[in-house]
Structure 1
Amino acid sequence: MGKCPVMMIFLASSLLLFLQTLEVVNADLCFGSSFNGNGSYAQNRRKLFSNLANKVVSNGGFYYASLGQNPNRVNAIVLCARGYKRQDCLSCVETLAQLTQSTCLNRTDSFIWGNNNEDSVSCLVRSSNRSTFGNLELRPHATSPHENRIDPSRNMTLFMQEWEATVNRTLEAATKADTSSVHKYYSAVEAGFTEFPNVYMLMQCTPDITSEECKRCLGDCVTFYRRQYRGRQGGMASFPSCFFRWDLYTFHGAFDNVTRVPAPPRPHAPEMGSSITDKKGRSIWYTIIVVFTFINLLVFIGFFKVNARRRKLNKRINVGSAEYSDPDGQFMLRFDLDMILMATNDFSSENKLGQGGFGTVYKGILLNGIEIAVKRLTRGSEEGGMEFKNEVSLLTRLQHKNLVKLLGFCNEGDEEILVYEFVPNSSLDHFIFDEEKRSLLTWEVRFKIIEGVARGLVYLHEDSQLKIIHRDLKASNILLDAEMNPKVADFGTARLFDTDETRAETRRIAGTRGYMAPEYLNRGQISAKSDVYSFGVMLLEMISGQRNNSFEGEGLAAFAWKRWREGRSEIIIDPFLVENPSNEINKLIHIGLLCVQENATKRPTMSSVIVWLGSETITIPLPTAPAFTWNQSQSEDGTMSMSNIFTELSSR
């Protein structure tokens, strides 16, 4: 036969083995590490699960929550299907929560797409000891194929062509995000096939992932089902992040208002009979073998190059001695530039996380597997150089769970680079001002973020060894970790105070207009009350879901003050929060208005804000008028100008 066919057989076997390894996943609904069934994790899970049903209904059909402290922290995601009936949702979540606790007695992770009715899939209950919010989860899988096979006398070739067309139609519809609903990734299709009058198909993803991630998840579901159960009369496949089901009968009541789609046109038979098909099949097979051989070659070359570079770096980099000491004796890691280049793949565009005023931020992975965020400051920028020195000087001496952690720096040649801990959920503005993601910020999550930012400011103002005024507190400078805990970031414009110093003046105004206190913007006066003002603006943005500059002519503070004085504070509140306790929300509006008062001496300290946030009995003083209304206009050169008009709204 010769050497070529032998090589082809070997490559074909390698390809099949490669494909099979993709299919091997744990099919159990209970997975993860084990825990004591009577310990803290079990108790936290029971407590969290006790009110999941009511919480998901009150939050519009999707709810994310966590309870406890690591390593016994329990995170849960709950979703009811689109168009759910209240009682069906309550019953489904309660049933699956009980099933999870009885079935997964000592496993930290679980997920179930199901219902207390075999013919429907109307909710998801998912739990873990790690944060899964916003993460695409493709392991493990759950499948349930129909027990009967399609009659072999049917035209299976035609059936699969029509089935694939329906899959593509359903997948396309499901991944076009409907931002008006938390059930934004969803599609139900009813189709007529040539040999089957009715075929029903449904796809759904959890709303915390992106559209591209949803597409990948559903595609994997379909691929897994097709490989394992091709020829069955229906069935389902699911991962923690998505669900796919099809059948020859309706299910879940999902098709009551769905327009039936006719079968796609029947393809013309080839004129030369099966010989053409055979030739085409052999051609495709040869193509697969060539492509697979090429991929193997590329992987080998890439593996060789990466290892060569790693050996080079290992010779050059001595992390243990890479330390830097400032004049105050503070030590921090000095990173080698080659280490940064390797971690970020030479600052590749694929690793770019965002663009700031003084530089670009990239994601990186160190040789030990630790993920980092790398801020590459703009070369030759005087302001960037000042920011670099400021952050290195300050963040070496600040340690708090609500402040971003600076891991180290690099200053080789004309490069000035800051290396931070990687915070996976980006910044707060990507959630609170995004129509798709804002619905994911439940009241509990928003309160946790507000309280965390307040605690971070208390540390800066009062509890750290230094007294720091941040000067640029805003939503884009608040990062969110995997569990949606806030971390105040960007200390490039922060100001260090002496411990007994309460106020200073500066000629260099740094910060963001709209968040800057009037005494600082107009007279350069800096104090802790400057940050309190910025915090108040951010708090009102969290309650309203709107940017401060969205309220043309006056700003959010003045708008909120007017509505609060009129007794119509509900106008301020984000529609996604209407089902939540109004007393708690109104209390935070009250606190926000106290923070943005014109008179800086009347603004509270951040420690007072913490006390008010945690108390239901303390009487909070009444606020006076906010600092100013905010008028924006655009000058001829395209830059933004702003006039500050002080108001006496209290007299209106």
Structure 2
Amino acid sequence: MEHSTSFRQTLHLLLFCSLLFCLHDLALADPPYPLCSNNTDNNTLLNSSFQNSLQNLLDSLTSNASVSKYYNLSYGNETDKVYGQFMCLDYVKADECHGCISVASQAIMNLCANKTEAVVWEEVCQLRYSNVNFIGRLNVEDNLGKDNVINMSEPVKFQAVVENKLRNLTTTAAFNSSANMYATGDEPYTVGNTLYALVQCTLDLSPDECNECLEAAIKDVSSQCYGSRGARLLSRSCYLRYELYAFYEGANESSVSPQIQPTSTTRGGGNGKKIWLIVVLTIGSAFLLVVLMALIVYRCATKKGTRKGKDEIVRNHVQQHNNGDHEKPGFQDRYFEGLDELKANDSYIDLATIHSATNNFSDSNMLGQGGFGPVYKGVLADGKEVAVKRLSSFSEQGALEFTNEVLLILKLQHKNLVRLLGFCVDQQEKLLVYEFMPNSSLDVVLFDQKKRAQLDWSKRLNIINGIARGILYLHEDSRLRIIHRDLKASNVLLDFDMNPKISDFGMARIFAGADSEANTARIVGTYGYMAPEYAMEGLYSVKSDVFSFGVLLLEIITGKRNAGFHQSTLVAYAWHLWNEGNALELMDPLLIDGLPEEFLRFIHIGLLCVQEDAFDRPTMSSVMVMLKGETVTLSQPQQPAFSVGRFAEHHQRFTQSCSANGLSISSVAPR
């Protein structure tokens, strides 16, 4: 009882100190920094078509953040139209930009709910939307300054250096056409100490507007953050920041030279006391934390025997989990033995050639981020354009999936499968070189309202038929029977003529002899496309790919993602409308040349492919017959998997397109 009382008292003291820190740091909170419109709309906005347009817009902006550091677009019609824009700081890499915008899109929905206009700033990006067209229109209202709590000892001298440097950079960013409205630079302040600064404008501004925006930002940061040793000015149309360390080169505040001394009397006369308060509270909290940890160790030691037994169970589970299909001892070794043999043939490309082709993996050459690492555009010495997939060194499935894909695709030849031109293994580098697909992946085109307009009914049928032919080849016509296991829109690439080619065979599995299904303890794939027997039990077969194809077919003809709308899915909604005789409500309004009868037949085929029982689903050869023959009698589809959902209004038009289908998973233990 005595130990328990002491434990609680110590915990209360620690929580009290933590609360003091929180109160002190409110003004110094980390990003995001939101700025929401003052209007307060009623809750019906959450379910309005404007909210649907906003969600679609944010999804599209996030998707484009992997290939661009600035992007703007609009979504919706008339009063439901919403305009959006993002800007990443030019020094960040594509994957960091994508991650930042992804976080910002979630933050802006949470922090500015029910607002028709908002902007949020993260550490290296900003995201903005409005129901009023702001693209190309300068806005310097409500500029927000954020600064370091510590001032410089000579604020007048320091501020003069800051303003002079920022104005020089402004001239470069605004009026130097090669600067792309971005500039960084450093300026000596005292011996051994340097000021680093950055300015950037959104690319929809003219040079004069960029100059005007940054001049206003300099004025605001000088008044709001005068004498601060570091600050940033957040504006809707531009951004500036300065520090005493090279933040745009990856440095942090710990690299600041100790020769720079802060003033003990800071803005408002209170920051000096705050610093002492921080020191005292830090020491006190550290002491209390040590006491708390000692008590925890003592209490846990008394339960050591029980925990030891539980740890043994966990270790056994992990060992069983890691020894799932195709990961048995010797399996990976056999793969690498095969790679050694392949190095001797024409498929092997040396690392120097790939470095030259991709300009040393330049950010400007990056096409996007794949499941196992970034993809770069390259040009070989003979002028051939290629796409190079660079396996991330942090990928937990790295070596196995890489060797799997190399050995598998080199044996496959079909016009609807992406062609592997070569590969490279050089120390930690593992690279795959594919033919270049100029129209990117299907999801980039299909789930963007403007780009989707390129896909008329005939093109969509061509894509559906091409994907079906590719899967049929894998299942029945190649020398090996292959299950793809990760068929989805982002793994279908489009060539110059919008012909589809299935890609990404890192998850694929080969069936030997007469085998028709297998079981795994290591489930890989993407939620929204995974068959129920695979997601829940680890059981996969050719019917698993048929399920994924059915989801993909429904997405292609409707122009909508499967997962992530309201409490349901596109599959469930299609089943619901089919039973009510209202399936035509799903028809993409952009399909001006689509025939209602043909659309309904394809909905019917899609529902047959996504039936819950794998036995009820057709084979891909049967699917091909269905796709070609209008006179074929189609059976009544049974209830799809995961079709339980709620619909606010049964006849509400479904216009939302969310991004949950993009969630790839690498390992899930089945129940």
TM score, norm. by length of structure 1:
0.47
Q: Greater relative contact order: 1 or 2 (C-alpha under 8 angstroms, separation 6 or more)?
A: 2
TM score, norm. by length of structure 2:
0.46
Which protein is richer in helix relative to its size? 2
